[in-house]
């Protein structure tokens, strides 16, 4: 579907992208030790004897980490392997106390799955399925600190042993936008499931970006892997830069070297870290400290039963059952908190108005996406920090629904709610904003407007229909916006006859 191409000097090039996403599993304890996992703690305060690889220490799998990885797999409709195994990936580095990372090379916990993306928000009906090859669980390493001493590096083992899911996509993406959409969608799913907080700025989610280029119809080109890119924007920038760089190299008659690269956020470029020739021989082999991980069907079913409604299902339900536009359905399901907020708004609105949810959902979604989002945007606030609760929003919508206030008054009330945090009913009462349905008052106002604009009345009667809006506006203005718009229309129509 993507028509993204690199225009080289010698013609068009396609880009092929695969992402390996490392997502930190949201658990209190590490993958193989009881140590805590809080972000931002003082160095070396979240370290057990196992994490520091003291002599004779042994890993014991943390069942909650396994559970979260299985739930994640189920959320992307992946195969859960009832028999998986941990392998050791051996290499020396100061942030790797054991001298090996416990990972899963040969038999991952989760097999093939898929994630559906919408690459262009403006075309919400154009979806594409990105394959996920596998998800395995593994330990994170510690962190070196180079700024503590003039000649020495220090080691912080707080992250050592923290549980990660490595989510490996198929090379199914063909543009930076698709990669961005995939990453965003994956993050949405992880947050719905609750298996990862998705906070890329805190390092709890990061991506290794595999990029290659080729002529249309040709086999895959040699890829490069840019490591540890930590935002959606940077992932897209990495692809953009790397694809163009590769085209330049190839068009100049050069060859792409299979290598590991680093992204520099300051310059938006990538640079070589190490080539395949000096790649490690990791000497993977099954970890003899751990038995194979065997999951029974009941455990997998329990994981499945614990899953919330997932974004795709929710989006579909919003569109079909609640009658939302595809755009609104997409926006409101993009993260779990927004969806939760919206659903509360709908439930409360239906209750207050004595209607079904499907009767109130459309108005609620329009109000939320245009009115509240717009107002919050101006205030620089997120929905979660909104001074207006879903219940207060529902009250406001109910006031509109039962004709107590008009839509335009509702905008004023919302501003006051955001300002003061007061309930909408109290604001309407205090400020005297109630809509008038008193036909006598409306007729009096209409008469006055028609009397002062006799010339325009003539023009209207002469065929200038567009002036009707002018009379409505003048009448409403005269009534300080409180006139019931329906009645105002009705009376005007009758009098102008």
Partner 1 sequence: MTDLTNLGIAAIRDGVAKGDFTAVEVATAFNAAVAEANPALNAFIVTTPDHALAAAATVDAARAAGQSLGAMAGVPIGMKDLFATQGVQTTAASHILEGFVPHYESTVSQRLWNAGAGMLGKLNLDQFAMGSSNETSAFGNVISPWRAAGDTAARAPGGSSGGSSAAVSARIVAAATGTDTGGSIRQPAAFTGISGIKPTYGRCSRWGVVAFASSLDQAGPMARDVTDCAIMLEAMAGFDPKDATSLDLPVPAWSSALSDNLQGLKVGIPREYRLDGMDPDVAKSWDDGIAWLSDAGAEVVDISLPHTKYALPTYYIIAPAEASSNLARYDGVRYGLRDLPDGAGLQDMYAATRAAGFGAEVKRRIMIGTYVLSAGFYDAYYTQAQKVRTLIARDFEQAFQRVDVILTPTAPTSAFVLGQKSADPLEMYLNDVFSVPASLAGLPAMSVPAGLDRSGLPLGLHLIGRPFDEQGVLNAGLAIERRAGFAARPEKWW
Which residues contribute to the site for partner 1 (CB under 8 A)? 49, 52-61, 88, 90, 92-94, 97-100, 153, 155, 281, 283-285, 288-291
Residues 395/397/402/407 CA torsion (nearest 10 deg): 130
**C-beta closer to partner 1: residue 59 or 113:** 59
Q: Least separation, in Å, of the C-beta of 65 and partner 1?
A: 14
**C-beta closer to partner 1: residue 101 or 349:** 101
Q: Least separation, in Å, of the C-beta of 32 and partner 1?
A: 9
Question: Which structure tokens are listed for 88?
Answer: 């050791």
Burial of 197 (0-12, 13-18, 19+ CB in 10 A): middle
Question: Which structure tokens are listed for 458?
Answer: 């003539």
What does DSSP say about strands 224-229 and 259-264: parallel, antiparallel, or unpaired? parallel
**C-beta closer to partner 1: residue 33 or 68:** 33
**C-beta closer to partner 1: residue 40 or 288:** 288
Q: Least separation, in Å, of the C-beta of 20 and partner 1?
A: 20
Q: Least separation, in Å, of the C-beta of 240 and partner 1?
A: 34
What does DSSP say about strands 163-169 and 224-229: parallel, antiparallel, or unpaired? unpaired
**C-beta closer to partner 1: residue 160 or 338:** 160
Tokens 């190299």, located at residue: 249
Contact 381, 355 (CB under 8 A): no
Radius of gyration of the chain (CA): 30
Burial of 374 (0-12, 13-18, 19+ CB in 10 A): exposed
Q: Least separation, in Å, of the C-beta of 140 and partner 1?
A: 17
**C-beta closer to partner 1: residue 153 or 202:** 153
Q: Least separation, in Å, of the C-beta of 92 and partner 1?
A: 6
Distances (CA, A) of 404 to 213, 433, 436: 61, 9, 8
Q: Least separation, in Å, of the C-beta of 97 and partner 1?
A: 6
Tokens 């996920």, located at residue: 132
Phi/psi at 141 (5° precision) = -100, 175
**C-beta closer to partner 1: residue 56 or 497:** 56
Q: Least separation, in Å, of the C-beta of 54 and partner 1?
A: 7
**C-beta closer to partner 1: residue 102 or 303:** 102
Residues with Cβ within 8 Å of 448's Cβ and at least 6 positions away in sequence, in order, are: 478
Burial of 267 (0-12, 13-18, 19+ CB in 10 A): exposed
**C-beta closer to partner 1: residue 87 or 240:** 87
Question: From CA 405, how far away is CA 413, in angstroms rounded?
Answer: 9
Q: Least separation, in Å, of the C-beta of 93 and partner 1?
A: 8
**C-beta closer to partner 1: residue 13 or 32:** 32
Q: Least separation, in Å, of the C-beta of 421 and partner 1?
A: 51
Q: 274 forms bridges with which residues in the sheet?
A: 260
């Amino acid at each position: 579907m993507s028509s993204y191409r690199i225009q080289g000097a010698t013609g068009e090039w396609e880009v092929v992208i695969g992402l390996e996403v490392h997502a930190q599993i949201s658990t209190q304890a590490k993958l193989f030790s009881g140590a805590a996992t809080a972000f931002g703690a003082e160095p070396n305060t979240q370290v057990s004897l196992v994490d520091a690889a003291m002599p004779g220490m042994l890993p014991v799998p943390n069942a909650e980490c396994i559970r979260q990885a299985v739930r994640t797999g189920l959320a992307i409709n992946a195969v859960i392997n009832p028999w998986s195994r941990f392998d050791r990936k051996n290499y020396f580095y100061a942030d790797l106390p054991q001298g090996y990372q416990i990972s899963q090379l040969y038999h991952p916990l989760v097999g093939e799955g898929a994630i559906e993306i919408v690459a262009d928000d403006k075309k919400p009906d154009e979806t594409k399925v990105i394959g996920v090859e596998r998800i395995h669980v593994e330990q994170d390493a510690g962190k070196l600190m180079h700024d503590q001493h003039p000649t020495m590096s220090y080691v912080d083992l707080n992250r050592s042993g923290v549980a990660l899911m490595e989510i490996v996509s198929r090379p199914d993406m063909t543009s930076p936008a698709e990669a961005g959409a995939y990453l965003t969608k994956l993050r949405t799913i992880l947050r719905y499931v609750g298996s990862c907080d998705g906070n890329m700025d805190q390092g709890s989610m990061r991506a290794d970006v595999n990029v290659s280029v080729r002529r249309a119809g040709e086999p895959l080109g040699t890829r490069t892997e840019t490591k540890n890119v930590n935002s959606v924007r940077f992932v897209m920038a990495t692809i953009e830069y790397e694809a163009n760089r590769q085209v330049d190299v190839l068009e100049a008659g050069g060859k792409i070297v299979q290598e590991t690269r680093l992204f520099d956020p300051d310059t938006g470029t990538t640079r070589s870290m190490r080539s395949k020739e000096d790649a490690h021989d990791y000497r993977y082999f099954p970890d003899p400290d751990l038995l194979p991980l065997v999951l029974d069907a009941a455990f997998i079913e329990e994981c499945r039963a614990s899953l919330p409604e997932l974004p795709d299902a929710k989006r579909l339900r919003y569109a079909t059952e609640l009658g939302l536009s595809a755009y609104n359905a997409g926006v409101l399901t993009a993260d779990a908190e927004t969806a939760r907020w919206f659903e509360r708004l709908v439930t409360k609105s239906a209750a207050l108005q004595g209607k079904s949810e499907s009767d109130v959902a459309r108005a609620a979604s329009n109000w939320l996406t245009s009115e509240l989002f717009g107002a919050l945007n101006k205030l620089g606030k997120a929905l979660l920090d909104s001074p207006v609760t879903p219940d207060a929003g529902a009250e406001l919508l109910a006031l509109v629904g039962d004709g107590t206030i008009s839509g335009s008054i509702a905008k004023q009330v919302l501003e006051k709610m955001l300002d003061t945090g007061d309930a909408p009913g109290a604001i309407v009462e205090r400020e005297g904003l109630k809509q008038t349905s008193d036909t006598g008052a409306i007729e009096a106002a209409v008469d006055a407007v028609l009397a002062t604009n006799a010339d325009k009345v003539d023009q209207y009667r002469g065929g200038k229909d567009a002036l009707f809006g002018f009379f409505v506006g003048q009448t409403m203005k005269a009534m300080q916006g409180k006139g019931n718009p329906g009645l105002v229309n009705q009376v005007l129509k009758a009098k102008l006859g």
